[in-house]
Structure formats: structure tokens, C-alpha cells
Structure 1
């Protein structure tokens, strides 16, 4: 329902490197950018973005495509949603027609849940800003916390009225289905719908956003002293909200995190909001849950540095140590900053200037070893047994670091701090590492044995036809409009009627050469994706004479676009590995080699001939004597043709 002119304008304006840069920390790599995959867990970058071609490729998951494909994969947008998101980002006015009731009915369950959450966010904001109860209760609470109107708007804060069905009745009246009100957790339903009431009744509301700004769920804080109710209440797990994979404030913080190359990690919503209002925006919260690997990986896409901020509660500090070990396991650099007794990030930011806050963070942020030592040695004091336990605990943390050089530096630091010899610490580290590797090896061996058993009866085979057809598409995509001189060989007879191959030069455009040669033998590509791409590409070249990749990839289906991206980014994968430093030099096929075109076509012809001969050989047994002779003759003819093609290939090479 979005007009074609709007879609074209979006594609013309949107820059794939800018959009993906909001989600992944991209670093320059030649003419491209590389970063960690947002789709898989990895420590070595395998995600490539090409600004020139306006495409991306994730070599760890196989995904790829244009800017819209990225948003559809990462944010689970539909195609229209991705276009609308980009239009909003680049301030492009959307021309569209109203959806019919039937089209609304077809909307996915996930999209229906997003729409319900978006309505709820607007409802809660409106209740707080435009009702007497909202102003006196909700808005007053936020103002008492020191939040100004700009901050309240930035984080979409709101208020849920103190009514059993205030929100639910309004949503139902607006046409939202009870099914999705229940699935998002906004409404609690009992007795098959006979009873229904608002989950967040009488609470101030904190919307929880995805990295792109979609509303995933809510956190609600009660304002009374009712001990029977939880102080904070979150949306339940749902199809769109998984609290272990979400960080509060990441949508507002992502650009600042990438810019500052550091992320401050706090515990609560108000910590994030108060820091933002103070002028420090690169801050996120785990929302009161224990830190998870998925949350750490979200940060790792934007920076390799985390500073964990704690209040002065010693019990809380000890409970949070495991989170630091998880950060180390991801290969990230972690520092810790503890606020004075009685202070937390919220209160400290509220009562100090930006300069004082920045100075405190800079002066008191310490590496995790000094933090652990200062925290745990207080208990150990002069007890040698307890001290040895502290040392082992610290070495356990060091063992989780993937980088060997970093490990060694931290061992040296630990030796100085704890007054223990480096030899003893390295020996302990080796024991811990060996034990961990042994456990890991056993698990890996079990997995590998399972795979071996499952695949024992089927050896992997190279699909030559697939590879050759893919090469045809690659040649058309990369060099289709290039002119070249092709050396081919034709069969002639000398005066004694003996066969001989005579070299023949021809100047042609690549796409015309491929099209004519395949047409001569009436060859059709067997792979359906390649067949569709072949027809589309030849059609574009015939019509325009050129193939503009950034336009072409935006006009084809996501499935075809993914294949095109994979083909176009083949060479770029080599930039992910520093081959030159290892004195391994990879050929960049940026220049057309006419021999490759000829070889590919000849190899495909030879493969199809061999396939035909095999089919004829298998059919011989089933035929009558007369047909038997005909098939043998046909087989001999094909064999002769294969010999001829092989001779041509030897000459081309």
C-alpha cells in the first residue's frame, strides 16, 4: 500500500552502512566495512557491508541483502514496516493507501502485538499528560525524580490509571483484540474472558524499546506502599519480548555507545534516565535481571568496552561478580566503578554536575582485578586460606578471557596485587584452563560423534552443476556489460578430412556471449533461483545495456537478493582474514578474465553431456534391439562431443 515513488525514494536515500551502523559497530576494511555478526555468536568479525554496492553479507549465518532485508531479518519487520522505518529515519513523506479490514486481518501475530504495544505506549503518555490523575500522580512522580519534560518525552514515560479496566476497555473500543492484549501481557484474562483487568493498574510506565525503537514491552512501578504488590512489574515473556535479550535504554544509547566506544551498564530504569538527562547517553540497564550473554552481545556489536556501575551495597556487589565473568568470556574489556555508600547512579547523577560526574567515573573506574581484589580481600584479611580462595577466584576470571596476551598481563597484575609469584599463578591458570578444555572436549566429542553417526552413510558430494550455474550468474552480475575479446575454437577439416580445432577470436559483450552460447545448445539452468536470476539479468541488460546493482537488488525478492548478495560479496570475505600478514595472497577478480567466461560455459556443456550419456547408458537395458542400437549411436556421438569440448578446454587453459 506504499506508493512506488516512496519506495524508490527510500532506496535512493537510505545508506546501508548508516542504518546497519546503528546496530553493529562497523570498522573500515578496504572499500567495505566489517563487524561482528548480529545474528550469531562470534568473536571474529564475519559481517561485511559494501557502501558501493549498498548490500551486506553475514558469512557466519549466510544471510545477506539490501538495507530493507537487514531490517526484516534483524527487527522482524515486514517489507512495508522496513520501508516505513527508513522513511521515518530519513524524513521521507510516505504516500500510501488505507488498509482494508481484510488486509488488517492478515497481519501477523507479531505485528499485531507490536501494534497493541504502540497503542498502549501512546495511551499511557496521554493519560499522564492530559488527565488530572495522570498529572497529579504520574507526572508529579517523574518531576520529583528530577526528570524534565524533554527527558520524559525522550523515554516515552507514561502512567496507567488506577482503574481495573481503564486501558483494556479503551483498547477494545479501538478495535484491538483481547487475544493480543493478553499475549502482550497488558491485560490479564481469567475464566475464558469473563474477567479481565489491566496488569499495570496505577503504575508509572517505562516502555522498553528494541534497538530500532519498537515497543517490546513495559516496566511499571507502583506508587503506593502496598507490600502485597511488587514494586516493579515487567511485561511477561512473549513472542516479541524476551527480557534476557533486551537492554533498557539501548535504543536511545546506541549512537553514543558507538561514538564514545564505551558502554556504562547500570541496574535500573531511573539510573539510565538520570544519566541521560545529565548529559551521559551511552548507558543501558539490565532492568533488574541478572546480566545474560545475549545482553552482552548486544553491547558488543557497538563497542568492546563496558564499565559496570554499582552502588555501595556490598551484598549487591558480590552478587554481580558473575556478570563480570560473563563479559570477560565474550572477549570484552570490563571496568567497574563503585559509587559512595548510600549513592546509586541515579542519585549521584542527580546531585552532581556533568563535569563532576564525568570526573568521578574517570577517576574511580578500575579494572576487574583491582575491583575483585579490593572487594574479596576485605573478607579474607589475614586468613591465608581465604586469601588463596580469593586468588583462585581471580585466576578463574582471568581464565575466561579468550586473548592470551591479555591473560598474561592480568596474571602479572594479579601477582603484584596479591603478592603471589607469577609462576604459581600461571600454573594455576594452566590447571584451570586444562580442566575447562577437558570438559569442553568431552562435550565437543559427544556432539561430533553424534554428527558422525548421523552422516556416516552419506558422504558429502560437490554439486558441479550448481557451482557452474552459480558461476554463470556471478559472471553476469559482475561483468555482464563488459566488452572483451574471447578466444574460442571451431572444428574444421583439412584436405584429408581430418578434424582439427581452429582458434577463432570474437569481440563481444559478456552477457551476449553467455546468452548466445547457452542458446545454441538450448541450455536452461536447472536451479530455480539461478534460472529466475538469469532471466531477470538478461532482461535488464537487453533493456538497459547495464545492470545497476543498488537498483536491481531492491527490485527482486528477498530470496533472490540474498543469493545475489552472497555472490557479489564472495571476494570481500577474504578481507575478514588478515591473509597478507600470513603471506597468503588472494586473487581479487575485480577485472574480467575472458577465459573464465569461455571455460565456465564449456564446463557446463561438458557436465550436461556426461549427464546425458549416463542417462542413455542406464536406459539401454530397457530398450528393444533396434532402439538399443540407436541409443548406442547417440551415446557415441555425445562421447565424441565431450572429447571435442575437453580439447577446447585444454587449449583455453
Structure 2
């Protein structure tokens, strides 16, 4: 999260009315010069929650909670201050600058803010246009497909379903008539450019459309399904990532479900839009789905703000089961209780609802199993668990998941239960966890920064290796402290290499944010002892102190390292996409890939400017 200046905070405060933020949570009624309501933080029969427009503050005389608009959101949605500020800034159209962008002119920020507003307006206009087409003659085929799914008109309206006609330039003409420029159309991702014909054309054609909303209910993209039985394009095509749409940060129907999730104290996570729509039809309006991508940590944290319990309801096939097991890696470290809904073989929530009604879904939810029981059943299926080798494999798989639970009491309880179910002594289970943790250098229930290997790493020195090595030295010399926290906030773990030094950086950051920075040297030494490949870490440990004595200089060097790593990763990604581009045959896929490359190159240029 970038640093937010006092000036930006003041702008957000001045453009936000606290009553607008509180109204969705409490029914405010005028009481003299103030407003009163039943407290949204605790149950009460007599209103003791008071809001002042004049001072833009709130206070509950019952439970004692009080503060300003920032603290209200932080308390109510379980947010950090930067997260609350970001939500409020987006709401009132204020752009929070990214890190190290202070050298950019205010006009650049204004341009980006203006473009963001235009993109949101474009998506709203296009969504309305698609919805209108669905009930016209040109949308008859799309409406027929929706009818085969037995989706009634009120649900069509609720979810904003529409139809993109079999036309190459309908949206292009629509947006042109609304005075949007070609550049703005291309930035929206709804229109592509054909280099060969030097013209613009629509991304979605002859498809049923599903609007995608952000957490505030703004339409930021579309998912679309072909109505043809055979097509050269994919069955589903989604909007590309844009200034307003980041797939990893969006959950389908989140804005519709979040109130129900909080009231019911659990969320249901499905695979796709149709499944979510059917779940909502059946009355399970606390259901959401990832958006055209695997479930992500950002999405897990979005749900964590609302609930401590999540039911996974994926398709009853190998892909669905594997997706559920992968989701555990993100949910368990957050302390979320995970239940698995098992559907009949070959069914998904939509097909089961249409065949057997909402009672069948209710029964499946009521019969949901704890993740541990689910894993035991799945891993033991059609296997000879009397075999020591098979049993050892099952134990390792299960205990690898248990090791991700941060709460030591909860983790210990699960270890005891798992040991009993697997027929091994409890102390053996605890020893196995220790072995797993040792092999991962540092885990044992602490916050983890798990890097994703972008490509095979070698011992050959590279700019990335050197930047990571310098970061590690800075962190060690400062005993964790501010440098580690700055790195954690500004450098996503997936950008750090899986080399020994990269793993050491992640380890040092993990220990710092867990308050155990005093043990960093000890654990880095263990890494060196455990694996000869980690010898490079020893060079860092015995290196002479860096010449940067001034803390301001250390921070600048730290940010320079982070910027260098980001630039290198973008360059690698551009090279990979360029290679993929050469093998593409579809003109549309080429255009999409080129747009993605263009966005990355712009980001790289901006980083170099800074």
C-alpha cells in the first residue's frame, strides 16, 4: 500500500460525508442537530449511536466505539487505514499516487482520474445497451440461451444480463456517438484495433454478457458466453485487465452478497457466474465467485473482512476438487474456518438446482464437511491406506495444510484430530509438522510470503539477484525494522525470485512482521547449514557493513532496489508475451496480447522515470 500524504487524507475527508458511509449500515434519524440510530457494532433496542454532520464523527454511548469516517470503515469492514482510505478515495474520485510517484505532475494524476471516471461511464453505458439488446429481435438467440438456463426476468435484471449482437462495430458506433475518443475506447478493453485493416472492432460479438462489478457496485468489465455450439474462440471471453479492472481483486456478485455474508456469518464460494446466479435464485445470496482466474490472496482477504467461515462449492470433478484444495493454501493462513460442499458426481450448483431444486443445495450445504475430513476422504479414495508408503504420502499432504494455520491452539487441535484419524501417535504428528517447517525454512503458523517461481533460477549473478542481495543486507543491518516493512508493503512476494537469496528476503520479512526479527540471523544460518545451495547467503552474513549510515539514504536505496526488481519482472513478462504473440493465429487474441504488452511497457516507462 503506498504512503498516503496528509494532503490526500484531507481531500478525502473534505469530499466525504460520514452519513453517506454510515447509512448502508444503520437507519439514521434526526435528533436535534444530530442523527441517531441503533448501533451497527452491537445489538441494542434503544438508539445510542450518534452521528454529527458538523464534526463528521460518530460515537456509541452503549459500546463506546467512536471516531471519524476512516475509523468507521476500519471497524465495520475490518480494514487497515490505507484500505479504508483507498475505498473512500475511489468513492469520491481522488487518486492515491503509487509509491515513488511524487515527481509526477498533478496534471498526470488528474488525467488518470479523468480516464478512470470515463471508463466507468463507458462500462455503464455499454451494460445498459447490452441489456436492451437482449429483449430485442437481435438478442433473441441470447434470450433463448438464458431461457434454457431457466433464469427468470427478475434475475436477468438483478444481474444485468445482456447480449452483444453479431456485429463488428455496434459498441464502436455507440461510444463514438457519445463522443468518446478511440484511445478511451481501446483503454476500456471493449474495443480492439485491427492493425491489418486499421479499424476498430468490438471485443464481444454474438454472446450473452455478464457485467462484472467492483466491490462498490461499479461495472468495471464483462464476462461473455458464446451461444454457438462450435466456435474458434473460447466458450467464455472476459474483459482484459484495465485501469479499473484487476481480475485478482474482483469477486463476482460481491457487492450483492456482502450484506448477506455478514448477516449469515459465512460465505459460499463457487466457480463461475452461472453457479452464483443459481445459488442466489435458490436463496443463498451470500454466494460469490472468482472472476476468470484462480482464487487469489486478494480475494481471500476481501472475504476475510466479512466473515471467518467460508464454504467451498466447486464442481464435482477433479478440476473442482483440486481448486478447493488449492484454495486452502490461501484461506487457512488467514484463520478462516473452511467447509467443503460435496455435490453429486458430474453436478455443479446450477445443474443441481435446475434438476432437484433449492432443497438439494440446502442439503449439500448442511452436509458440508470440515476441510480435514474432506482431504482424508479424497486422498484415501481408491487407495490402499494399509500401505506405509501411501499412508506416508497422505500424512504429508494433510499436515502440509495444517502447518499453514497460524493460530497455535487451533493448529494443535487439528494435529491431534488428524493424528487420531490417521492412526498415528499425536507426538508423531507434531514432530512431522516440525520437519515440514524446517524444510520450508520458516513456517510454523507464521505469516508467510510465498514467492512464485517466475522461471528457473541459476547461480549466475543477475540484476535481480544483486538487488535482492542488497535488500537482504539492508534488512539484516537494520535488524528487520523499517526496511523490512517498506519492502513488505511495496514488493509483492511473487516478484521475488525463488533463489536462495530471494527465499532469505521473504524469510526475513516474515519474521519481522511476526515480531521475531531478533531471530533472523539464527534462521538464515540454519538455511546455510541445511542446503549447500544456500551458501550465497553466508556471503551476505559475513559481508562488511554497507556505507549507508543515514536512515533516509537506506530507505532510498531500498526503494531503488524494489523499483529495479519491478522493472526487470515487467521486462521478463513482456518478453514472454512477445514470444506467445508470435504463435497466435486469432486476430482478436493478438490484439488483446498487444494491448497487455502496451500496458506493461507504459508501467515500465513510468517506473524508469521515477
User: Normalization by structure 1: what TM-score?
Assistant: 0.56
Whether 1:321 aligns to 2:337 is no
In structure 2, what is the equivalent of residue 172 of structure 1? Answer: 176
Counterpart among 78, 83, 105 of residue 93 in structure 2: 78
Contact kept, 8 Å, 1:127 with 1:161, in 2: the verdict is yes
Superposed CA RMSD: 3.8
Question: Counterpart in 1 of 2:376?
Answer: 373
Q: What residue is the counterpart of 2:142 in the other structure? A: 138
Q: 1:441 to 1:307 in 2, by over 3 A?
A: closer
**Contact 1:278/1:350 (8 A) holds in 2:** no
Q: CA deviation at 1:390?
A: 1.1
SS for the counterpart of 2:341 is: strand
1:501: which partner in 2?
none
Q: Does 1:114 align with 2:117?
A: no
Mark the CA change 1:261 to 1:230 in structure 2 (over 3 Å): closer, same or farther. Answer: same
Q: What 5-or-longer segments of structure 2 have no aligned partner?
A: 1-12, 28-39, 51-62, 96-109, 452-467, 484-610
CA offsets per residue over residues 218-247 of structure 1, 9 Å max, x none?
A: 001011123411000010011111101111
C-alpha spacing 1:311/1:225, structure 2 compared with 1 (3 Å):
same
1:111 Cα offset (Å) = 1.0
Distance 1:113 1:411 in 2: 50
Following TM superposition, by how much is the alpha carbon of 1:314 offset from its aligned partner in structure 2, in angstroms? 2.8
Cα distance in 1, alignment partners of residues 16 and 396 from structure 2: 56
Cα separation, 1, equivalents of 2:291 and 2:15: 39
> How many angstroms apart in 2 are the aligned matches of 1:430 and 1:455?
25
Instruction: Name the CA distance, whole Å, in 1 between partners of 2:416 and 2:145.
Output: 50
Q: 1:328 to 1:221 in 2, by over 3 A?
A: same
User: Cα distance, 1:15 vs. partner?
Assistant: 5.0
Whether 1:157 and 2:157 are equivalent positions in the alignment is no
CA drift of 1:254 comes to 0.7
- The alignment status of 1:450 with 2:454, answered yes or no, reads no
- Residue number among 290, 297, 301 corresponding to 1:286 in the alignment: 290
Q: Is this contact kept in 2: 1:307–1:337, CA < 8 A? A: yes
Q: 1:412 to 1:346 in 2, by over 3 A?
A: same
Does the CA contact (< 8 Å) of 1:15 and 1:51 recur in 2? no
Which residue of structure 2 lines up, in the alignment, with residue 464 of structure 1?
none
Structure 1 CA distance for aligned equivalents of residues 249 and 64 of structure 2: 24
Aligned partner of 1:239 among 236, 243, 246: 243
Instruction: Name the TM-score, length of structure 2 as normaliser.
Output: 0.60
Conserved in 2, the CA contact under 8 Å of 1:17 and 1:51? Answer: no
- Residue 119 of structure 1: CA displacement? 1.0
Cα deviation, 1:555-586, whole Å, max 9, x if unaligned, reads: xxxxxxxxxxxxxxxxxxxxxxxxxxxxxxxx
- Structure 1 residue 78 displacement after superposition: 1.4
Instruction: Look at both structures and tell me which one has the larger radius of gyration over its CA atoms.
Output: 1
Which residues in structure 2 correspond to 1:401-550 (within 5 Å)? Answer: 401-438=405-442, 449-451=473-475
CA distance in 2, matches of 1:208, 1:330: 26
CA distance in 2, matches of 1:438, 1:70: 32
1:521-563: per-residue Cα shift (whole Å, max 9, x none)? xxxxxxxxxxxxxxxxxxxxxxxxxxxxxxxxxxxxxxxxxxx
Structure 1 unpaired stretches of 5+: 1-6, 34-47, 81-103, 460-653
Question: Partner of 1:208 in structure 2?
Answer: 212
Q: CA contact under 8 A between 1:127 and 1:159: conserved in structure 2? A: yes
Q: Distance in 1 between matches of 2:94 and 2:322?
A: 46
Query: 1 CA distance for matches of 2:295 and 2:111?
Result: 38
Query: Partners in 2 of 1:361 and 1:55 — Cα distance?
Result: 36
Q: 1:260 aligns with which of 240, 253, 264?
A: 264
Q: Distance in 2 between matches of 1:237 and 1:288?
A: 11
CA distance in 2, matches of 1:447, 1:49: 44
Equivalent residues of 2:372, 2:418 under 8 A apart: yes
Count of matched residue positions in the alignment of Structure 1 and Structure 2: 404
Cα displacement (A) at 1:193: 8.4
Matched, 1:195 2:199: yes
* 1:110 Cα offset (Å): 1.0
Distance 2:230 2:333 in 1: 41
